[in-house]
Every structure is written in structure tokens, then in C-alpha cells.
Structure 1
Amino acid sequence: MPDPVHRVELTEQAEALLHTLIGQHGAVMFHQSGGCCDGSSPMCYPRGEFRVGASDVLLGYLDADTPFWMSADQFEYWRHTHLTVDVVAGRGSGFSLEAPEGVRFLIRSRLFTDEETAYLQAQPPPRTGADSPH
């Protein structure tokens, strides 16, 4: 079992796009709201342009120290899954930074193994927006 267990990771294609966006916009962040339509896709924003709520959950940091936040309701639904941020062709929301590139981020998921679940349960709970400076 990998140590530590990560809740969220990037595909190589998503990592390359992330670096392109950082080059264009500076530091960025992800937020997944779990809303309908494009709200169910991870949104990429310039860091500081999206205000994280007190109940939002920090799933972890991706490449280039990029935080990935998720709404508390969505986290409760997906807490048992490992998330992989990927990229596909097509326009997503106009609010996410990748939209002008003709691609959109999406989430691929798998259930954590029993070993990964045990590891995560032995850790402190993930930080929330209430724990973090904005």
C-alpha cells in the first residue's frame, strides 16, 4: 500500500494542463461543488478568486502545491473514493480556467481498497475551510 494514501491525484495530461494554467494565471486551486451540470466537474480558479466555505473539505495538494477542495456534502458522498483529475476535449464551464483551451477537467474515481480505507481512518480528519486561512 502506498504511504501516504492520497485522496486526489492528476493524470499526466491534467498535470501538463495544470502547469500551462499556472504559467498563464499564477497559482491556482480546484474546487468541486457537486452541483448539477458543470458544477459536478472540478473547477480550476486563480488562487484567491474563489472563497472556500467553512465546511469545504481540503482533499489534498496536487502538483505545484495546488489545493483541491470539495464541498462537505460532496465529500460525504465520495469519502470512500480515490479521485483522479483528468482532461477531456470539449468546453466545460466558462468559469473554470481551462475552458478557453477547448478542454475540461473531469473526475475519474475508484473505491479505496480496505487497506487504504484503514490508513485514512487512522489519520486526522481532512482540514476544512474553517481550519484554513482564506
Structure 2
Amino acid sequence: MPDPVGRVEFTAPARALLSRLIEQHGPVMFHQSGGCCDGSAPMCYPRGEFRVGASDVLLGHPADTPFWMSADQYEYWRHTHLTVDVVPGRGSGFSLEAPEGVRFLIRSRLLTDEELAVLEAQPPPTGADLPH
């Protein structure tokens, strides 16, 4: 059976870093806000320390980790598949990977017509749809 269509995934290096961060901090979540292109930095927080709201869109649970995006940002990126990667450099001071000397980074590609049809048949929930 083929993998289900998703909007976001992690590269192997990003999954390895994610595992280390979960060991150190417990369950985490991601939120993507701002940025209009490849290279935008998703923010990684301990789960429950960043409050999502009605203006946020849940893109999925890659690696069992909730990945949220602001609704305004989602309007720009709704036709893209996002890949979370990790690169050397200084991350944001608020994102958990900042002390590691690396940062998470978004790479994107357009969704195929078939992927988009599957995803748009099931609109993602907003922060208003889920308990906080």
C-alpha cells in the first residue's frame, strides 16, 4: 500500500535531531509562521508551550510531531509539500535546536495534481478544531 499523501515530512538528519530534542525536552511541536520561500525556518517548541489558535492550520503529524502553520502562511503554501531539513547555522533563539549549532529549514516542492486532490478532499483542522 502506498504511503498516504501528506503536506510535510522530515529528512533523515532532521529526524535524528528531532529524536535528540525529544529525549532532552519531551514531546515537541513545530510552528511555521512568516517566510515566503524555501529556507524559511520552522520553530520547534516543547509541546504545549506554544499556544495554537483558530488562525493556525495543522498540516500533519510527521514523525508523530504536530506541525502547524499560520493560516495566512498556509494560503501561500497550500499547493506545496514541505520537507523539514537541518543545516549548520544558528537557529532562532526560541527554537529548541538553537543551542545545537544547527537550524531547521523548509524545502518545498509543488504538490502534484493527484496529491492536491487527495489533500483538498480532507481540509486540515484549525486550532479552533482541536483541544489546546
| TM-score, scaled relative to structure 2 | 0.93
Task: Report the residue type matching 1:71 in the other structure.
Answer: S
Structure 1 segments, 4+ long, off by >3 Å, are: none
2:10 maps to what in 1? 10
Q: Go from structure 1 to structure 2 and tell me whether the alpha carbon gap of 1:69 and 1:127 turns closer, same or farther (over 3 Å shift).
A: same
Q: Tell me, which stretches of 5 or more residues in structure 2 are unaligned?
A: none
Alignment of 1:12-31 (within 5 A): 12-31=12-31
Residue deviations 1:6-33, cap 9 Å, x none?
A: 0000000000000000000000000001
RMSD: 1.5
Structure 2 Cα separation of the partners of residues 43 and 109 of structure 1:
16
1:130 maps to what in 2? 128
Residue deviations 1:82-105, cap 9 Å, x none?
A: 000000000011100000000000
| TM-score, scaled relative to structure 1 | 0.91
1:33 maps to what in 2? 33
Residue deviations 1:62-101, cap 9 Å, x none?
A: 11x2100000000000000000000000001110000000
Task: Report the residue type matching 1:108 in the other structure.
Answer: R
Residues paired across the two proteins, number:
129
Could you tell me how far 1:3 is from its partner in structure 2?
4.6
